[in-house]
């Protein structure tokens, strides 16, 4: 896996993945940025959410469950001192579908957290990461 990060100006950078996808990263105006892109730590948090969401949906779809939506709401806490690392991350999954059993969604979330999500498993070595979920039944 490869990526590049190119400085644009001030505190603005352009990240490009090995697959050619790009994202603008920037800092807030009071720290020399122009506030035109996501913060780098926000990228890490989104990476955890994306990685785990991918796993949860993959597991549910392979099980042929009727899922119509999946939203992961992430909250994080950071240290008050430099480096301001994440100290806690919580993922709350809202999974919507028809005839979804709590046990099935719980299993998917647990498998992601403990076996498949490279991002959360890696960060979990130094960050307290918790998960929960709710099932929203379509009628």
**Domain regions of the chain by residue span:** 1-38, 40-137
The total of other beta-carbon atoms located within 10 Å of residue 63's CB is: 11
Checking if the pLDDT of 68 tops 90, the result is yes
What is the model's pLDDT at position 108? 98
Q: Could you tell me the pLDDT band of residue 139, with boundaries at 50, 70 and 90?
A: confident
40-137 shares the fold of 1-38? no
What is the model's pLDDT at position 31? 87
Checking if the pLDDT of 129 tops 90, the result is yes
Element holding 45 (H helix, E strand):
helix 40-62
Checking if the pLDDT of 57 tops 90, the result is yes
Q: Which residues contact 123 (CB under 8 A, 6 or more apart)?
A: 44, 48, 86, 89, 129
Class of the domain covering 40-137: alpha beta
Checking if the pLDDT of 85 tops 90, the result is yes
The CATH architecture that domain 1-38 belongs to is: Single Sheet (2.20)
CA distances from 55 to 111, 116, 129 (A): 8, 7, 16
């Amino acid at each position: 896996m490869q990526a590049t990060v190119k400085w644009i100006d001030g505190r603005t950078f352009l990240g490009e993945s090995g697959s050619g996808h790009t994202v603008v990263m920037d800092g807030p105006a009071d720290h020399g940025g122009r506030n035109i892109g996501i913060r780098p730590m926000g990228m890490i948090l989104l990476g955890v959410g994306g990685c785990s969401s991918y796993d949860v949906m993959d597991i549910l779809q392979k099980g042929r469950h009727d899922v119509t939506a999946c939203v992961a709401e992430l909250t994080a806490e950071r240290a008050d001192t430099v480096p301001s690392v994440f100290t806690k991350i919580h993922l709350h999954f809202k999974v919507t579908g028809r005839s979804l059993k709590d046990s099935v969604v719980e299993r998917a979330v647990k498998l992601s957290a403990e076996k498949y999500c490279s991002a959360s498993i890696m960060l979990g070595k130094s960050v307290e990461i918790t998960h929960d979920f709710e099932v929203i039944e379509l009628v």
